[in-house]
Structure 1
Amino acid sequence: MKVLWKGAITFGLVTIPVSLYPATRREELKFRLLRASDHSPVNYKRVAEADGKEVPWDQIVKGYEHEKGKFVIIKDEDFARVDVEATQTVDIINFVSLEDVDPLLFYKPYYLEVGKGGDKAYVLLRDALTETGKIAIAKVVIRARQHLAAVKPQKKGLMLELMHFPKELIDISEFDKPAEKAIGKAELQMAKQLISSMTTEWHPAEYTDEYHEALEKLIEEKVEHGDKTAPKAAKKRQPTNVIDLVSVLQKSLQQTKGHAKKEKKRTAKKARPQAHHAARKKAA
């Protein structure tokens, strides 16, 4: 995987050489706009709103709309004046408890790979963060833009997770709160039973992007067969007004119990031939 940048984590007088790698991969399927008659690709044009004329690149400037229809022009030298020095360092500002930080602030993870000669300091920081339950809050410049970030222990390594600055979050007070309704003991108990019956161990590999997979399959079929095997559109599930919450919870519990029994039978059936094979092997 391509390294994003090589630099160092710094806090106090400690410097840890690291390399920064993306921790996520999002493989979007890219589509081109085509003319229907001959499938000729359609390109985007830079067209001025005032007269509909195409504008060449050398006549384009950047402007900030400070009032409706009024712009202030920002030139390259203006951007240079406010540019942040790309120091190639993760400068730790302070350490805080992870539980004190709003989860909404975190948004993009990266892996921090230890650089040559940095193993001991790297392990020291990782273990100290793990044992204290703390994370490091830092500032880092990536691709000429300064970001707020957190350095966190991640299994045997460290990760850097970019963060929103707090003022970027929309205050929850702008949204309607649910009306406080009295919850019956029976409802709460059944809700807890439903949660319990649907609780499983965490297996990340079980969760896949079904839409992406279905779209890939559809593209493969259309490449091979054209529009002859176009699948029917999936029926959309219509929302229902929940009136009798107890009844809905009871039905949900029955369904999950039925599913659990089937899963248990399937697992037992799977295990029987393996046990039989092991017994025969032992006897031999």
Structure 2
Amino acid sequence: MHTMWKGSISFGLVNIPVKMFAATEEKDIHFRMLHKTLHAPIKYVKTCEQCEGEVPVSDIVKGYEYEPGHYVIVEEDELKAITPHTRKAIEIMDFVDIKEIDPIYFNKTYFLSPNETGDKAYVLLQSAMQKTGKIAIAKITIRSKQNLACVRVYENALVMETLYYPDEVREVKQVPGLPDAASTEVNEKELTMAEQLIEQLSGPFNPAAYEDEYRKQLQDLIQQKIDGKEVRHVAEAPRARVVDLMEALQASIEESKTKKATAKRAPAKRKKVKASASG
């Protein structure tokens, strides 16, 4: 696992040296853009809109477009001068209950492990957070950007989740076409059946029960092409069009009951999907 960042967790007057690792990874299959005839990779070059010539990296600067066609140039040393002092620290500011944070604020997850002589202090913070049921709200600078974050316990490790700032989360009132729940009449029978369907589909969260079916099919397609096999397309069976809401709810409940009964009689074996290659 590649170390992405080294620093410390600042916890009151306690500093815990830690290393940070990406906790998640994309499994998407990436394609290269090729020349249609030669099948050679296509290169992308940086060009200037005015002279249309290729621009070397040494001649590229950062500019902010404050109005169309007008830019202010910001130099690298000017950016370094305002880099927050928390560049090498996860500075804990508050402790809160995780249920107070809506999932819309969560961005990316990182594993934290103790570095150098930080084992004891790391376990101390981990144990105290487990016992109190609290998570820490912190700030950290990653790649010159100051991030809001939370530190919490995951299994036997501390993880850090970067959070969106409040002004980065769009207001719900900006969403067009949302119905007014207060003025939209809901049929009591339909509501009862909807609740019944929710109960029927409810159960403990098991992440292993889900897989990316499209990625699996794409992997199979690519492997068939590598093996020189004929690629066959199987049309998806058409689904019955149900117009009436009550009929749709009833059909969904019956389908859910059938699936659960089948699963109890013969538990399906799940095939582990191999990690995909990227191009």
Please state which band the TM-score falls in when normalised by the shorter chain: 0.7 to 0.9
**Equivalent residue for 1:212?**
215
**Gap regions ≥5 residues in structure 2:** 270-279
Query: Could you list the per-position Cα deviations for residues 8-40 of structure 1 after superposition, in whole angstroms to 9, with x for gaps in the alignment?
Result: 211211222222111111133232221111112
Distance of 1:136 and 1:83 partners within structure 2: 23
- Aligned letter for 1:231? R
1:108 aligns with 2:108: yes
RMSD value over aligned CA atoms? 2.6
CA contact (8 A) 1:86 1:142 kept: no
Does the residue aligned with 1:229 lie in a helix, a strand or coil? coil
CA 82–235 in structure 1, closer or farther in 2 if over 3 Å, else same: farther
Distance of 1:60 and 1:27 partners within structure 2: 33
**Equivalent residue for 1:129?**
129
Query: Could you list the per-position Cα deviations for residues 77-115 of structure 1 after superposition, in whole angstroms to 9, with x for gaps in the alignment?
Result: 222232234642211111222222232111111111133
Does the residue aligned with 1:141 lie in a helix, a strand or coil? strand
1:183 aligns with 2:178: no
CA 234–247 in structure 1, closer or farther in 2 if over 3 Å, else same: same
**Equivalent residue for 1:198?**
201
State the shift of 1:213 in Å.
1.9
Distance of 2:179 and 2:107 partners within structure 1: 26
CA 114–237 in structure 1, closer or farther in 2 if over 3 Å, else same: farther
**Equivalent residue for 1:150?**
150
The alignment-based identity, stated in percent, is 37
Distance of 2:197 and 2:230 partners within structure 1: 41
**Equivalent residue for 1:93?**
93
CA contact (8 A) 1:86 1:144 kept: no
**Equivalent residue for 1:229?**
230
**Equivalent residue for 1:20?**
20
**Equivalent residue for 1:11?**
11
CA 2–178 in structure 1, closer or farther in 2 if over 3 Å, else same: same
Query: Could you list the per-position Cα deviations for residues 218-269 of structure 1 after superposition, in whole angstroms to 9, with x for gaps in the alignment?
Result: 11111221xx6233275597996x75211110111111112222222225x9
**Gap regions ≥5 residues in structure 1:** 271-284
Within 5 Å, give how 1:27-46 maps onto structure 2.
27-46=27-46
Select between 11-20 and 62-71 the one with higher mean Cα deviation: 11-20
Does the residue aligned with 1:43 lie in a helix, a strand or coil? coil
Distance of 1:234 and 1:108 partners within structure 2: 37
Distance of 2:51 and 2:170 partners within structure 1: 37
TM-score by length of structure 1 reads 0.83
Distance of 1:73 and 1:6 partners within structure 2: 31
- Aligned letter for 1:152? R
Distance of 2:217 and 2:4 partners within structure 1: 31
**Equivalent residue for 1:264?**
264
Aligned residues: 266
CA 230–51 in structure 1, closer or farther in 2 if over 3 Å, else same: farther
Distance of 1:87 and 1:43 partners within structure 2: 35
CA 76–206 in structure 1, closer or farther in 2 if over 3 Å, else same: same
Greater radius of gyration (CA) = 1
Distance of 2:173 and 2:132 partners within structure 1: 33
Does the residue aligned with 2:266 lie in a helix, a strand or coil? helix
Distance of 2:77 and 2:6 partners within structure 1: 27
Q: Which has the higher contact order (CA 8 A, sep 6+)?
A: 2
Select between 250-259 and 1-10 the one with higher mean Cα deviation: 1-10
CA 116–78 in structure 1, closer or farther in 2 if over 3 Å, else same: closer
Select between 34-43 and 22-31 the one with higher mean Cα deviation: 22-31
State the shift of 1:131 in Å.
3.3
Query: Could you list the per-position Cα deviations for residues 157-199 of structure 1 after superposition, in whole angstroms to 9, with x for gaps in the alignment?
Result: 2111111111111111111322332222221221122112222
